[in-house]
Structure 1
């Protein structure tokens, strides 16, 4: 008898869903809208509903399904309880327990970035590796740490919150988390823009960035064209991120570091710059750890969620 599982990746706008065979084959993927009104009360019932409909459509019985894995944007403890998911308007929520009650199928929940890291370790850029660090560079900086093939979630579900490592003790502006000097302030798309604007205001050097809307993409595009001011920004970014990853490597000793998220679309120039500073700061045993670009893109979450229940 074939066995199946579901991988669910809950985002602030859409819920990505995947039906998998237990050998890892993705049979179908689809999306439903994330309904966040009324403190997100419809999110888990909507997941239960779409799972039920897919089982009926595919004529799969619940006995053939080993579980439902769910990635959620917020800290999740080892029991599958969400401490808080701001983008979903959730406070404390027993996600695994509630979804299992709604579906009659075993359920597991994890932080979305940790789950994406598990996906990349299973079927993506780090396929076959048991010790992986993943950093996702988007509006913020997320992260996931896989040790011995398992997500490192920690006591409070905050394991892998790479974006909130303190990397600049002199920073006076506050991060969204309330602290100052977080990696997210330096290495996210928002952080790159912030740094570029600061440097532009502090000097009169010529730069093509002065004639453009400043985004992380325009900074890297200008860097590729030899713009010296853009090069300064990218070097600062690379030093902060490379140094932070070197610190993480001292603790976890990964076999590979995966970089994903929208900013990673800059490609090899990004990983080259980060790797330069990683090698500068890393402990000798870790210096040659490869830094690679993520492969699964938007599907990493559903793959990782499925892998959780396997």
Structure 2
């Protein structure tokens, strides 16, 4: 599957012509029309002249279809797996890509991703869910600059919320801890003038770890407040990074210094951080964590297959293993293992 990155200038209208979708997905126009005909791909909007206009949801679904075909699944199996379930009085969750949502959830549930803006000097890209870390590293090296991530603008949130609300669903927009991103404030301002459907803009108080609770959120969205309150109390987040210069760049005053990064052995704290550069190797950095938390249910979020393989060699296995979003990588570095622990 191609790395899911595109120029921001080509995405922010929210619509794509068939040529652009084919370029990004590697499919042909005939294949797209066939998928639409058999009900695998939802019908796109059309202009007055009949031109198909695809949206972000179409592109994400096509990328998943391409991946599934490469794994050997037939179109019938793919259709059974990916066809959206009909929901009555559905709640549509809109999440920032910083959360690195579990791809399995995106395949079958009413969850959409709001991309962060990824900058490499002058060039700008939009994150969907993951950016191949090797491609990410190549872009950084080519531009001779560390990537930066910023949330969408208030206007971009307004456009996304309006499109979502027009589906006559309850729209819940979930955001990382507002001390870290200001996307909560921007989305709240964007929603203040919109009232076509119930809207909730929620500062979750979490960096990540939301994947523990998706099943419960989707099953009982009315219990959102209680579910998130439990998540804030029960989830510890531990980051093991190979790129400490991104967190502590020389001569820069980063806004995320508000967080109190604690030593890794204080695993019961809200979060922990170990720059691998301060350890002899990956195993040494992980050792302090795993001997304490190995009996607890957990999620591993990884930046590359190599990082995950190194974790597996140490016996680090979790109930879920998900790729980190490129928005996450742009902040914390391209070589990172994040462990979300549920007590």
- TM-score of the pair, normalised by structure 2: 0.37
Q: Which has the higher contact order (CA 8 A, sep 6+)?
A: 1
- TM-score of the pair, normalised by structure 1: 0.40
